[in-house]
Amino acid sequence: MRNLRYLVQPGGALCGHLRVPGDKSISHRAIMFGALAKGITTITGFLEGEDCLATLNAFRAMGVRIDGPEQGQVTVHGVGLYGLRAPDGPLDMGNSGTSMRLMSGILAGQAFDTVLTGDTSLTRRPMRRVTDPLTKMGACIETTVNGAAPLHIHGNQRLSGIDYLLPVASAQVKSCLLLAGLYAEGVTRITEPAPARDHTERMLEGFGYPLERENDRSVAITGGRQLTGRAIDVPADLSSAAFFLAGASIAPGSDLLLEHVGINPTRTGVIDILRLMGADIEVLNSRQAGGEPVADLRVRHAPLHGVRIPEELVPLAIDEFPALFIAAACAKGVTILTGATELRIKESDRIQVMADGLTALGIAAEPTPDGLIIEGGAFSSGTVESHGDHRIAMSFAIAALRASGPLSIHDCANVNTSFPGFVGLACNAGLQIMEQTP
């Protein structure tokens, strides 16, 4: 399936009701916390994508009984913080940076040695951002010369809490260190330069683990307490909804309702940025589900205009920028993004890969070291290389709504890491997309 391609016909509108799959970030954490808790954790809405299944299978390999997934239903029989067993071999995280970085924090506190590995893309991604602070806590982790996986994590290390200032806002690094803090003596305090996703903090509290939020940039926990199993309702993933928010905004005649979407305030940058560009997005039926705010999002076509994206919104939309770049390409005028160096170390260099794809389709796109300058225009027909990046592939599929001819998008198999069933849902909403295998 590595050569899977999307062929998308031009035009159309997105209409009707749609529920995208469960939130990837919350699904990962639900498995992790459920496994480390005492008692049973039941999960509904679990994302059955390859990334989250890598996390689930890792805990099975360490002796945790997990029933499911079956239509998003998972039951985790927790073993407590110290109940994991040594796996028989390396733990394969596939393409999931979240799995590898968060698991590093958990495994640093175990009594046994482990090896974390992954696919070619993941083993190129930087891991010193977690291994360096974990080492300060007392962990012993070997990496490649470039600071990448495989990670050889040595057990029986005595961890101590640290006071750590994150160099850049990163929910993955923050979460890794908080998870290691569960096993550390004393207090682990993490301070971030800007707010990043707080799913880990919310879930810690939901599983009964006390933490201290000292302000909107600092959180602290004390090691040695206990997690207690609970029920988790995973909302639909705003990062997956983002493709449809952008698509309905750019396609004339669109009127789409996205149901039960997580609107955690540390994640809603995509909504804020689209609204700055003139998008018509309504937040309806706001409510709580499993400790997370959710709502239905109604989006209708509206003329967009270019903006200078406020840097304070960048951490709140870091995974959604490929979709936002498509919206910017359809906006009148120029859109300027700065302060987004993090995009260069995702599943691909998303600044360069998106710039290359936009240029191939006739859009003026100038990459900068920390962002992108896009001048709105018209998409031509053409071919785009996604470089195996799921968000790149789905973003250019949405671009076909405003293209002059068919788009062929290559190397799309990794869409299943985050959005299984994307093609079927997109077709139901009105996108004319089909899969091809050469």
| Structural domains in the chain plus CATH codes | 5-22+235-436 (3.65.10.10), 24-233 (3.65.10.10)
Q: Is the dihedral angle over the CA atoms 287, 293, 296, 301 positive or is it negative?
A: positive
- String of DSSP letters for 321-353: HHHHHHHHHTSBSEEEE-S-GGGGGSSS-HHHH
- 290 vs 347, which has greater pLDDT? 347
- String of DSSP letters for 25-66: HHHHHHHHHHHHSEEEEEEES---SHHHHHHHHHHHHTT-EE
Decide if 180 contacts 109 (C-beta within 8 A): yes
Cα–Cα distance measured from residue 66 to residue 56, given in angstroms and rounded to the nearest whole number: 8
pLDDT in tens, 274-299: 999 999 999 999 998 878 999 999 99
pLDDT in tens, 74-113: 999 999 999 999 999 999 999 999 999 999 999 999 999 9
pLDDT category of residue 195 using cuts at 50, 70 and 90: confident
410 Cβ partners below 8 Å, 6+ apart? Answer: 3, 5, 383, 384, 385, 386
Please return the burial class of 146, using the count of CB atoms within 10 Å of its CB with bins 0-12, 13-18 and 19+.
exposed
* Owner of token pair 């996604």: 386
Mean pLDDT of the 377-403 span? 97
What is the model's pLDDT at position 2? 58
DSSP code, position 235:
P
Total count of residues recorded for the chain: 438
Q: Is the pLDDT of residue 5 over 60?
A: yes
Of 4, 42, 49, 41, nearest in space to 23 by CA? 49
pLDDT in tens, 141-164: 999 999 999 999 999 999 999 999
Cα–Cα distance measured from residue 288 to residue 295, given in angstroms and rounded to the nearest whole number: 8
265: helix, coil or strand?
A: coil
Cα–Cα distance measured from residue 223 to residue 159, given in angstroms and rounded to the nearest whole number: 10
**DSSP H stretches of helix in 71-123:** 97-107
pTM for the model stands at 0.92
User: Where in the sequence numbering do the catalytic residues fall?
Assistant: 319
